Chains A and B, each alone.
Chain A
């Protein structure tokens, strides 16, 4: 799972924002289907077997639930299947439910990949220069989370060795947790003030701030970013001319299959499967190299 995440943060961030926007807002079945497949294929390269299984256990019931409940809200559509309390349960509403479910799962999949690829260091690199103070707070807070976790464990261990709150009852657990948290608050506030003093005495805030980063914008990053933006502009243009318009009610409109929409679909499909292809290519190359040894 290395090839795609090695790209520069800027093309990565742009790519995910564009995929999320288009998956959420271009209400077209082909686009959503492509996004779902591409997102699913890519997420599959990022997760291990156990995570895949637990994801499926979450996504499948969720999509069934959305599909089944949609006809309860919307009684539009021309083909009633049966009536509940005088309200029509229509075929179109079920179709629309399937569509919404696919859209939501696609967005969840892309968000999941985003979380795994655009990690906090990349995020800070992108926004650190635009908002240096906010970035400072964010990076210090990020560092404090593991420090506080460790400190909480230490305090809890000290409690245990003193034999306090060790019966395992709920009341004991709550009181123990509260005491640990309280000591954590005191310790961390003092720690923050001390750190602030150290930073000031070491000359924080004098002169220009510099940022350390390990990211380099390579030619391949430029190509990827260019392709992403080009595809986004083409899709945006075709959407703004209504070429991708689709509606489910009263009956689903026929899918436009003239040259331009099809070109837009191909464009979006290429965009959606790009990360998966990059990963697969890397995997194949890696396996070839390994088999040579």
Chain B
């Protein structure tokens, strides 16, 4: 009862507080503030739904392992700029365990790897971006599993989307307001990154998706899940 009351209080007071702050205290830089608030709040419904459902402990641990695997991937490739297997691992987790697992693997990978790479306001954006890409991959799971071409297209697409979403952050971080001029320059100066994200996603998905799928099938037979 106490907990329920608290969660209602958070929703009833928290959201208006966020909005009121945006329009009064931080009114000059509304847009970046709202963007940050939206990114943070977009995580909340997913988490609430996940916490309410009943999950087997194996499912939770598998999500944890995939999160750790993507973090290890980011650490292993930290020397190579923008060439990271994180999105690929998130997409694979989403393909085999569903949208919810995809969302969690994505957003928790961002949070966890930033304990190594440095947290900051950008963590919120990365969590939202990777979480939503994972969720979408989970929704498209059946089609992605069957079709390697579609999988590669999704990999490239998610690289581009991730880059475009992070560019929103970069462009707004400087001015506090959204201006197309800055956004366009931000997008054009990061073209190389965008291409690398897309290429690395496709490469890692093609390399990893089928083998990991096979391993999961083997585990399923071995343990009769």
Contacts and interface: CB of A to CB of B under 8 A. Distances in A.
A192 B72 contact: no
A28 B10 CA distance: 31
Interface string A150-194: 001000000000000000000000000110011011101111110
A51 to B, nearest CB: 12
A195 B56 CA distance: 12
Contacts of B68: 140-142, 144-145, 147-148, 188
A23 B179 CA distance: 21
Given A66-B174, A189-B62, A200-B57, A145 B72 contact: yes
A250 interface: no
B214 to A, nearest CB: 9
Q: Contact size class for B?
A: 35 or more
B69 A138 contact: no
A133 B25 contact: no
Contacts of B185: 73
A186 B203 CA distance: 20
A138 B112 contact: yes
Contacts of A36: none
A141 B32 contact: no
A192 B212 CA distance: 14
Contacts of A70: 174
Nearest to B115: A120
Interface stretch (B118-126, B147-155, B156-164): B118-126
A142 B120 contact: no
A137 B60 contact: yes
Interface string A56-76: 000000000010001001000
Interface in B174-225: 174-176, 179, 181-182, 185, 207-208, 211-212, 215-216, 218-219, 222-223, 225
How would you classify the secondary structure of chain B's contact residues: helix, strand, loop or mixed? helix
A185 B69 contact: yes
Interface in A177-232: 177-178, 181-182, 184-186, 188-193, 195-197, 199-200, 204-205
Given A177-B76, A239-B26, A245-B28, A134 B51 contact: yes
A112 B118 contact: yes
Contact of B26 (A20, A26, A119): A26
B152 to A, nearest CB: 18
Contact of A115 (B47, B65, B71, B115): B115
B29 interface: yes
Contacts of A195: 61
A119 B175 CA distance: 30
A107 to B, nearest CB: 7
B62 A141 contact: no
A152 B72 contact: yes
B62 A185 contact: no
Given A134-B47, A134-B104, A148-B69, A107 B58 contact: no
A136 interface: yes
A25 B119 contact: no
Contacts of B55: 133
B33 A141 contact: no
A24 B33 CA distance: 9
Contacts of A191: 65
How would you classify the secondary structure of chain A's contact residues: helix, strand, loop or mixed? helix
Contact of A189 (B56, B65, B114): B65
B215 A189 contact: yes
B123 to A, nearest CB: 9
B41 to A, nearest CB: 15
Given A144-B64, A205-B57, A111 B51 contact: no
Contacts of B33: 25
Contact of B72 (A73, A149, A186): A149
Contacts of B118: 111-112, 115
Nearest to B107: A134
B119 A134 contact: no
Q: B27, B57, B75: which has the most chain A beta carbons within 10 Å?
A: B57
B69 A137 contact: no
Interface string A70-107: 10010000000000000000000000000010001001
By Cβ-Cβ distance, the 10 closest A-B pairs, closest first, are A144-B68, A111-B120, A196-B58, A240-B24, A140-B64, A25-B26, A141-B67, A192-B61, A192-B65, A141-B64
Interface of B: 21, 24-29, 32-33, 47, 50-51, 55-58, 60-65, 67-69, 71-73, 75-76, 85, 104, 108, 111-112, 114-115, 118-121, 173-176, 179, 181-182, 185, 207-208, 211-212, 215-216, 218-219, 222-223, 225
17 contacts: A27-B176, A73-B179, A107-B121, A107-B173, A111-B118, A114-B119, A131-B47, A134-B108, A136-B60, A137-B60, A142-B112, A142-B115, A178-B207, A188-B69, A189-B219, A193-B225, A200-B58
